[in-house]
Structure 1
Amino acid sequence: MSLHALHALHASHAPKRALFLRGPSSSPALHRILADLSALAPDSVSLSRPNALYPFDDPASLEFLAHKNHAALVVVASSSRKRGDVLIFARLFDGALLDMLELCLSDAHPMHLFSAKSPCGLRPLLLFAGAPFDVSPPHRLCSSLFLDLFGGPLPRIHADGLQHAVCLTATDSHAHLRVYTLCRGATSVSLCEAGPRLDFTLGRVREASAAQLHAATAPAAVPRPPRNTSLSSRGDRVGRVHVAQRLSLQTRKFRALRARRTGG
C-alpha cells in the first residue's frame, strides 16, 4: 500500500470504532495489554469471552462480530506455542476485511506497573520515529492501523486537551510502543511514561487488493445544492422555472377570415 493511498484512506472516512477480542487462547498478561489498549482508544468495544477466531485462515467470524458491533477496526489477542503472544490488527471496509497485520510481542508491561496514569478515552499525540515507517510497506500499514486506533480527522486542536502521547519507534528488526503522560509545569512540559509498554516484531501481513483499496480511498460523493429554490417567509419552498423568451406568438389562421380577391 502506497503512502498516498494511506493518506487518502484516513482523509476520506470518519473515525473508526475499535473492537477488542480474545482469540481461542490468550495469556493473562495479554488480557491486561488488550484491556489497556481498549481503555486508551477513543471509541472502543471490548468482549471478554474467548472466540474461535483464525483471521488469516478464515475471516468470516471476525467480519460477523465486527458487523454486529458496528466496528471497522478489530484487535484480536491470541497466544500459541508456535507464535507466542500476538496482537492481530484487522481493518474492514463495507463489511469485508480490507487489510491485516500481526504483531508478535517480545516484551509487554501493562499500565498498572507505572506510577503515572494516562487519561482514558482521549485522543493522544502520535509520533512515529524511524526510517522503516517511510520505506517498509508493513511498517506503513502498522502506522496506518495505529492512526485509525487512536486518531481520526480533527478540524482543529486545543492545546489544553493534549494530555498524553503515543510513540512508536521502529528499527530494522523490532518496534517499540511507549505511552507518555504530558506533565505541564510553570515554564516547561515533561513526559512521564504511563504504559502500556510493548516491544514487538511484525509478523504476518495481509494487504488490501487493488480493487478494495480503490473503493476504500474513493472520496465520498458530495450532493449538489438545489438551484433556483428558496424558502418563503412561511417556510414553504419556492422554485423558479426559467423558460426561453419567445419573440413572436404563433396563432391559428382561418381561411374563412381571409380577404377575398375581387375582380378578374
Structure 2
Amino acid sequence: MAVLKRVVKPRTRRGKMALAKREPKAIENRKQTMIVRGPKCSQTVQDCMKDLYKLKRPYATAYNRHNDIRPFEDASKLEHWCKKQDVSLFLFGSHNKKRPDNLVFGRLHDFNILDMIEFGIDQYHSLASFKNAKVMESTKPCLLFAGEEFADPANLEMQRIKNYFIDFFRGVETDSVRLAGIEHVLQFTSLDKKIFIRSYRALLKKSGQRTPRIELEEIGPHIDLSLRRTHLASDELFRSACKQVKNVRKTKKVKNITEDAFGSKMGRIHVEKQEIGKIQNRKIKALKESKEEKNEKKKTQSEKQRQMEIEAVFASGGESDGGDSGGEDMDSD
C-alpha cells in the first residue's frame, strides 16, 4: 500500500505568504526559467546557454554544477527542482557521442512536464563575437517567424515549437509599445526541420517623413538548430493548460453607473414602493398629546359609551312592551 505524503501547514507568516504566491491565479506571475547542465557539457553548449541566460535575465536562474539527468528517460528530478523554485520553463544542455552539442527546451504545467523539444547545435556565434552595441537587459523583443513549416497549420509539431518559442522569449506582457521601445528583434526561420535564430538591434534612421526608416544590425547570438526529438502534450492536455478564466483581462462592467463628458459618475438607484403608513417616526415631544387633550378624549369616549348603553336599554324595553299587549288580546278573545 502506497504511503500518502503528509500535508504540512505553514506555521509562520513568511511560509503562508510563500504558499500564497504559488497558488493558482487568474493572471499568472511572470514565468521563470531554469538553466541546468547535464553530466557532460561542451564549451559550445555552455556559451550558448550563457547567451540565452543573458537574453532572459532577470527572469532566469543558471546553475553551473553538472547533474546526472536524462530528461527524455526520467524527468522527475527536473520536475522536483522546478516545483521547489516555482519555475515553469527550463533549458537543459548536454554533450555526448550520440548527441553532441545538445539542447533540451521544456515547459511544465502544474509542475508536470508538458512539452520537451531537443535540438542539436549546428552553428553558433556568441554575443561577444559581434563587436557592436547591445540592447538593454529585459528589453521586450519583437518575434518574427518565417518559413513554410511555421506557416502551415497542419504541421502540429512546428506549430507547438513556435508556440514554445513565443512562451520562452516573449518578455513582459504589455498592452501597448511605443516605436522607440521596439529595439530588439528575434527572427526564427524554419527549413527542413532546422531552425535558424537571429538576433538584431533595430536602428531608427531619419527618412524625411514622420515614420523613421528602420535598419537591422545583427548583435548575436547566431544559432542554427536541428530538430532531434520531441515530447509533446496531447491536444486535450494542451487545451487544459492554456485554459483561462473568461473575461479575466476585461474591465468588469458595473450596472447602473454612467460617466458624463466631464468625468463625473452618475448612479441610478432602484427603490421599491414604500409604505409610508408603516414607517416608524421619531417620538417628538411636540407631537405628543397634552394632559388636557387626553382628559377631553377620555370624556368624549365615556360619553359615547354612556349614550350607547342608554340606547341599548330603551331598545330592549320597547321590545318587551310589544310582547305583553299581544298576550292581553288573546285572553279577551
For 2:81 and 2:124, how far apart are their aligned partners in 1? 27
Q: Secondary structure, in 3 states, of the residue corresponding to 2:50? A: helix
The equivalent of 1:23 in structure 2 is: 38
2:163 and 2:30 mapped to 1: Cα distance?
Answer: 13
Which of 66, 76, 79 matches 2:95? Answer: 79
Match of 1:38 in 2: 53
Q: Tell me the TM-score normalised to structure 1 length.
A: 0.76
Q: State the secondary structure of the residue aligned to 1:80.
A: coil
Counterpart in the other structure of 2:149: 132
Q: How far has the Cα of 1:67 moved from its partner?
A: 1.6
Residue 94 of structure 1: how far off its partner (Å): 1.1
1:262 aligns to what?
none
Q: Aligned-pair distance for 1:36?
A: 0.4
What is the CA distance between 1:175 and its match in structure 2?
Answer: 1.6
Deviations along 1:94-151, one digit per CA (max 9) or x if unpaired, are: 1111111111111111111111243232111110000101322222222112111111
Residue 83 of structure 1 deviates from its aligned partner by 1.1
| CA separation of 1:225 and 1:125: change in aligned 2, threshold 3 A | closer
C-alpha change, 1:218 and 1:244, in structure 2 (3 Å) is: farther
Give the Cα–Cα distance (whole angstroms) in 2 for the partners of residues 129 and 205 of structure 1. Answer: 21
| Structure 1, 154-163 or 12-21: larger mean CA deviation | 12-21
* Inter-partner Cα distance in structure 2 for 1:191 and 1:198: 17
| Cα offset, 1:19, TM superposition | 1.2
**In 2, are the aligned partners of 1:15 and 1:151 still within 8 Å (CA)?**
no
Select which of 78, 96, 104 maps to 1:88.
104
Alignment of 1:104-119 (within 5 A): 104-119=120-135
SS class of match (2:128): helix
Aligned counterpart for 2:67 among listed residues 51, 70, 78:
51
Looking at CA atoms only, which structure, 1 or 2, has the larger radius of gyration? 2
* Count of paired positions: 228
Query: Cα distance, 1:179 vs. partner?
Result: 0.5
SS of aligned partner of 2:164: helix
Taking the aligned partners of 1:28 and 1:220, their CA distance within structure 2 comes to 44
Q: Give the secondary-structure state (helix, strand or coil) at the position aligned to 1:67.
A: helix
CA distance in 2 between counterparts of 1:226 and 1:154 reads 25
Query: In the alignment, is residue 192 of structure 1 matched against residue 221 of structure 2?
Result: no
User: Who is 1:123 aligned against?
Assistant: 140
* Structure 2 runs not aligned, ≥5 long: 1-25, 208-212, 256-270, 279-333
Q: Is the 8 A contact 2:44 2:101 kept in 1?
A: no
Bigger strand share: 1
For 2:313, the equivalent position in structure 1 comes to none
Aligned to 1:148: 167
1:245 shift after superposition: 9.1
Deviation at 1:164, TM superposition (A): 1.4
**SS of 2:175 mapped into structure 1:** coil
Deviations 1:49-98 (A, max 9, x none): 12222111111111112122221110111111101111111111111111
- Structure 1 or 2: larger helix share? 2
Letter in 1 for 2:55: L
1:7 corresponding residue in structure 2:
none
Assess, with a 3 A threshold, how the Cα gap between structure 1 residues 115 and 208 changes in structure 2: closer, same or farther.
same
Contact map agreement 1:15 1:148 (CA 8 A) in 2 = no
CA 1:112–1:16 in 2, change beyond 3 Å: closer, same or farther?
A: same
Counterparts in 2 of 1:223-238, with a 5 A limit?
Answer: none
